[in-house]
Amino acid sequence: MPKKPTLFALACLLAATVPAHAQGYPDKPVKLQVPFAPGGTTDIIARVISEPLGRHLGQSVIVENKSGAGGAIGAAETARATPDGYALGIGTVSTTAANPAINPRVPYNPKADFTPIINMAATPNVIAVHPSFPARDYKGFIEVLKKNPGKYAYATAGTGSIGHLQMELYKGMAGASVTHIPYRGSGPALNDTVAGQVAMIFDNLPSALPFIKDRRLIPIVVAASERLKDLPDVPTFKEVGLAPVNRMAYYGIVGPKGLPKDVVDKVHAAARKSLEDPAVRRRIQDTGSFVVGNTPQEFTQQIAAEFDVYKKVVDTAGLTPD
């Protein structure tokens, strides 16, 4: 008769069937993919969280930038990654809602191809103009645009970015005609707007705020739940009668689909601990963002809801990626 396996042999067999991720994840550095160029809000938030996140995980978290196609190139790399927790990404409204809503060629399904882990921050958006623009407030701004249809252009982080779709939504509701100039991220878009090569930008507040504080950009209107302490004289879209445009961005951590629950739980717990650190909260809040820190389930629902909103915007306005 064949010998019965010993307890030691059974233990070895069970150990061999336990996924590697459950045996001490992480045991090497973790990549955090930023799907936009350095200098934009996504990059800022990623670099604020990377060091404390790595400290709580017990391994370095290395931020890598891969921009292009409105964030789709970097997001697709995260979606295609091995679901072992070593290749994570920053999920934004642009990459998980706006861009997929407008571009059927985006090589991932935002509702199915990611594992949402945590939404770290909510961020107001702002329309800001170069100081040479002939208006300094919203009333003057819309008057200039209506008197000069097609004369001015606006910069964004790329086609399909949140700035693009929110500005197109704004244009349709306000009856304004402005040309879209897409860039490979907020950083390059801001550089050209600050240099006066583009008249205005629709951007996330954290990346635009330093230029606003230096008076190199003039804020006109913000997408926020209320007026901001840093911009007390700037109205929200709701105040100017355009409540549907009054949507904030989000910045969360996502992994590829099929990410094991124990890995999700560990990254989520490390991110939550990082967001509880007063210094980290202050750095995020100093950008003009609000700390969130929701659950994976809540972030999953948020992504699905935002995609549905922007898909309706695209379909209603007949927008295309080209």
What is the spatial order of strands in the sheet that 114-123 belongs to?
61-65, 30-34, 87-92, 249-256, 114-123, 290-291
Taking 60 as the threshold, does the pLDDT of residue 9 lie above it? no
Q: Closest by alpha carbon to 206, among 117, 135, 121?
A: 121
Pairwise CA distance, residues 95 & 115, whole Å: 14
Say if 26-122+248-317 and 125-245 have the same CATH topology.
Answer: yes
pLDDT tens figures, 181-207: 999 888 899 999 999 999 999 998 988
- CATH assignment of 26-122+248-317, given 3.40.190.150, 3.30.930.10, 3.10.110.10, 3.40.50.300? 3.40.190.150
Average pLDDT, rounded, for the chain:
91
Amino acid 84: pLDDT: 98
Residue 313: pLDDT band by 50, 70, 90 thresholds?
Answer: confident
User: 163 burial class (0-12, 13-18, 19+ CB within 10 angstroms)?
Assistant: buried
Q: What is the mean pLDDT of residues 297-315?
A: 93
List the domain boundaries for the chain. 26-122+248-317, 125-245
How much of the chain exceeds pLDDT 70, in percent? 93
Q: What is the mean pLDDT of residues 85-101?
A: 95
**Identity of the amino acid at 268:** H
* Higher pLDDT among residues 317 and 301, named by residue: 301
Pairwise CA distance, residues 251 & 32, whole Å: 13
Give the residues across from 118 on adjacent strands: 253
Give me the CATH code for the 125-245 domain, please.
Answer: 3.40.190.10
Helix (H, G, I), strand (E, B) or coil at 227: coil
